[in-house]
Chains A and B, each alone.
Chain A
Amino acid sequence: MSNGQNERREMTGAEMVVQALKDNGVKHVFGYPGGAVLPIYDEIFQQDEVEHILVRHEQGAGHAAEGYARSTGKAGVMLVTSGPGATNAVTPLQDALMDSIPLVCLTGQVPTSLIGSDAFQECDTVGITRPCTKHNWLVKDVNELAATIHEAFHVATTGRPGPVVVDIPKDVQFAKGFYVPPQIAPRTSYQPKVQGDLDKIKAAVELMAGARKPIIYSGGGVINSGPEASHLLRELVDLTGFPITSTLMGLGAYPASGKNWMGMLGMHGTYEANMAMHDCDVMICIGARFDDRITGRLTAFSPNSKKIHIDIDPSSINKNVHTEVPIIGDVGRVLEDMVRLWRASAKADKKALYPWWEQIAKWRARDSLAYKMNNDVIMPQYAIERLYALTKDMDTYITTEVGQHQMWAAQHYHFEKPNRWMTSGGLGTMGYGLPAALGVQIAHPDALVIDIAGDASVQMTMQEMSAAVQHNAPIKIFILNNQYMGMVRQWQQLLHGNRLSHSYTEAMPDFVKLAEAYGGHGIRCEKPDELDDAIKEMISVKKPVLFDCRVATLANCFPMIPSGKAHNEMLLPDEATDEAVANAIDAKGRELV
């Protein structure tokens, strides 16, 4: 109960932690207990406002909190012990840093008097997590604990969102001090700029009005900015009539059914999206960061375009690609101004865009996501298509692991709304999807939450099936099982003379039995004509499901911008003969990843 907002109340550090969580609107915490956080766990035990979700490994707690955050727009919270608890949290912290996910990680620490003595389960948590957080704190004084946690939430959720760590020594958890409620008094050195420069936005609108071959390239920043930003993006696309593509992280901000939608761009993006990026005259980058998977070869990246870049992080501007019109600010705020200025000044000359759309139609006609259907073996693309067809009208959330299945999911599952797609983009963390699905399901208990998984990735965090069973989270793990680390194998075929070094899993577990062993439900499907029924069964089961979907083992993910090539040098599925694949990358490139 937080009555008397400004009243300083005396309590222990552990009590403060729980009180601060409540005061920051936290309903769920993902965590794992241990010696250095026992006082906090004792407080959690004695209340029921904040629900604790027990995972099986701290990495799982982090990804679950990320899934929770990504699907709700709120901060995800994890609580782990010192030493190994903290080091196991490093992967999700870096994952959240690269994908700009608000994540608050509370770690226990050995008592202050023992710090630096190589005590049991001691590690330099703030040192280890410094480069993989937006900011971190070691709290040595109980009277600073509450304010520090409030500041941690503020830093994690404002500006460009990101992960933060608050390291709390055990003696600070026991010590008594005064609690302060959250106040809006951010430190003077941290003032993210959210409002875009109006002159720059005007210049952008002018440039856009004169464009004949424009393209909007949107990213995860639109999702992070909130539902209103997605709404404004749709409005801008309607007003201008511009084609729009998106990064992996930005899927859903503009609906896949929208008529201006070009599909995802980048290494495994559509032919039309990449060709349009290459040939455009004005590029409007909204909340994306010109990642190397997007640009391909930088020196040949969209050579004839003027670029407008909207980003809340000034360091994203001109980092990889030079921008003519940089606009620093929150996507939502900037789009609001941009839409208003467009309405006021620019007349949408949609006729002038006809030749551009005609050209795009030609690229589209190449049908770059096509694949050869097979009546005996399930093609992975077909599996996703069927999954999409059977789940699109439900309240569905999709997470993924990392690899071929992830790209196929991005290509063949179509998103209509933001916050429905959770995937590890920047860091590419295998094992992300299953715990992320758990986090999403906790946030949305009645929704259908599906992890589109690969057989290799899913085994990295498989233990969280146990957590899902414990917390009655009926997540569906849809495994595209080809018995390979498919993307590793694809690169070995492209780069390493088809020498498949350690990318085949010879001892695959029986996923059906494994599901049953965890107390979940197992389904196996091997034939295309049985797939629909099996998917319907998966949807109807009210407990966690491992769906072992046996797919064509040697299918590869196309289209693809072969390593180091430009957007207009894509390898299309019908051109990807063995010979073309073998020659796609030259000797020099094999030295690099």
Chain B
Amino acid sequence: MNAQLQPTGSAYFIAKETEKPENHTLSVLVDNEPGVLARVIGLFSGRGYNIESLTVSETEHEKHLSRITIVTRGTPHVLEQIKHQLERIVPVHRVVDLTVRSHESGQERPLERELALVKVAGTGEARVEALRLADAFRASVIDANTEHFIFEITGKGSKIDQFIAIMKPLGLVEICRTGVAALNRGPQAM
């Protein structure tokens, strides 16, 4: 068996990755103190993990707790490492892989929502079309004058991607997205 493997000739052996990478959503409960986000982000960059999306805000003011939601991509082995490495950070209380948790309860994935503000400028037919499509996507107009709209849209990432793609030929100017907020279904906390 050994003969089939290519020796790399180095003490740093780099094994061929055989597992497939997956997207997972992690929920990280942390003490809201200076530098905590830098610790989390520094861990990802320092150890070469991916961040697809990151959302953070204080969620329990009295306890000084913040919740960081990270969408990351990696093989199951790497995802397990990410979880354990996050747990080593002193101000981190809990790390839950929401994707794994949702699989355990028979769901395909956790509840994930994102909010986007989308600015579209234009006149005439394009403008009317933009407003009609926004209505179909249940996006609401939060600012407008005769030359532009700002739409607020909430939904799964894929829905927002689609909305943005449709707005492109209709005068899309700029976009701001919050990143993914996520919870698992059911009555229990993380």
Contact = CB atoms under 8 A, between A and B. Distances in A.
Contacts of B8: 297, 563-564, 588-589, 592
A434 interface: no
A569 B144 CA distance: 73
Interface stretch (B76-84, B166-174, B179-187): B76-84
Contacts of A126: 35
B14 interface: yes
Interface string A115-151: 0000000000011001100110010000000000000
Contacts of B92: 189
A292 B7 contact: no
Interface stretch (A220-228, A314-322, A547-555): A314-322
Given A314-B84, A315-B87, A130 B31 contact: no
Interface in B72-95: 77, 80-81, 84-85, 87-93
Interface string B5-30: 11111111111000000000000001
Contacts of A313: 84, 88
Interface of B: 1-2, 5-15, 30-31, 34-35, 38-39, 42, 46, 77, 80-81, 84-85, 87-93
Contacts, number: 97
21 contacts: A130-B35, A134-B90, A135-B89, A135-B90, A187-B31, A187-B90, A187-B91, A188-B93, A293-B11, A296-B13, A314-B87, A315-B87, A318-B80, A564-B10, A564-B13, A585-B10, A588-B8, A588-B9, A589-B8, A592-B8, A592-B10
Contacts of B93: 188-189
B13 A298 contact: yes
Interface string A555-593: 000000111111000000000000000000111111111
Nearest to A314: B84
A303 interface: yes
B96 to A, nearest CB: 14
A293 B10 CA distance: 10
B77 A318 contact: yes
B81 A592 contact: no
Contacts of B80: 318
Nearest to B65: A189
A190 B2 CA distance: 43
Interface centre among B2, B80, B93, by most chain A C-beta atoms within 10 angstroms, is: B2
A292 B11 CA distance: 7
Contacts of B88: 313, 315
**What 9 pairs between A and B have smallest CB-CB spacing?**
A589-B9, A592-B10, A315-B84, A135-B90, A585-B9, A189-B93, A564-B8, A564-B7, A563-B10
Contacts of A592: 8-10, 12, 14
A183 interface: no
Contacts of A299: 5, 13, 15
A253 interface: no
Contacts of B38: 127, 130
B15 A131 contact: no
Nearest to B43: A131
A300 interface: yes
Contacts of A131: 42, 46
Contacts of A104: none
A138 B88 CA distance: 20
B156 to A, nearest CB: 31
A155 interface: yes
Contacts of B2: 300, 566
A282 interface: no
A190 B87 CA distance: 9
A467 interface: no
Contacts of A295: 13
Contacts of A589: 7-10
Contacts of B34: 138
Contacts of B39: 130
A267 interface: yes
B139 to A, nearest CB: 39
Given A566-B2, A588-B9, A189 B46 contact: no
B7 A315 contact: no
A54 to B, nearest CB: 31
A296 B90 CA distance: 32
Nearest to B94: A189
A319 B81 contact: yes
Contacts of B14: 592
A430 B46 CA distance: 23
Nearest to B29: A189
A315 B12 contact: no
Contacts of A563: 8-11
Given A561-B11, A593-B11, 13 more contacts: A187-B91, A267-B11, A297-B7, A318-B80, A318-B81, A562-B9, A563-B10, A565-B7, A588-B6, A588-B7, A588-B9, A589-B9, A593-B12
A591 B11 CA distance: 11
B5 A297 contact: yes
B18 to A, nearest CB: 10
Nearest to A136: B35
Nearest to B45: A131
A134 B81 CA distance: 17
Interface centre among A296, A562, A564, A586, by most chain B C-beta atoms within 10 angstroms, is: A564
Contacts of A591: 10
A585 B92 CA distance: 44
Contacts of B42: 130-131
Interface in A300-356: 300, 303, 313-315, 317-319
Nearest to A164: B90
A340 to B, nearest CB: 28
A300 B6 CA distance: 11
A425 to B, nearest CB: 14
Interface centre among A297, A318, A561, A590, by most chain B C-beta atoms within 10 angstroms, is: A297
Given A135-B90, A315-B85, A318-B77, A564 B11 contact: yes
Nearest to A589: B9
Given A126-B35, A189-B92, A298-B15, A587 B9 contact: yes
B68 to A, nearest CB: 13
Nearest to B82: A315
A248 to B, nearest CB: 14
A154 to B, nearest CB: 10
Contacts of B5: 297, 299-300
Contact of A317 (B10, B15, B31, B84): B84
Contacts of B90: 134-135, 155, 187, 189-190
Interface in A45-90: none
Interface string A269-310: 000000000000000000000001101111110010000000
A593 B84 contact: no
A471 to B, nearest CB: 34
Contacts of B31: 187, 189
Nearest to B80: A318
Contacts of A297: 5, 7-8, 13
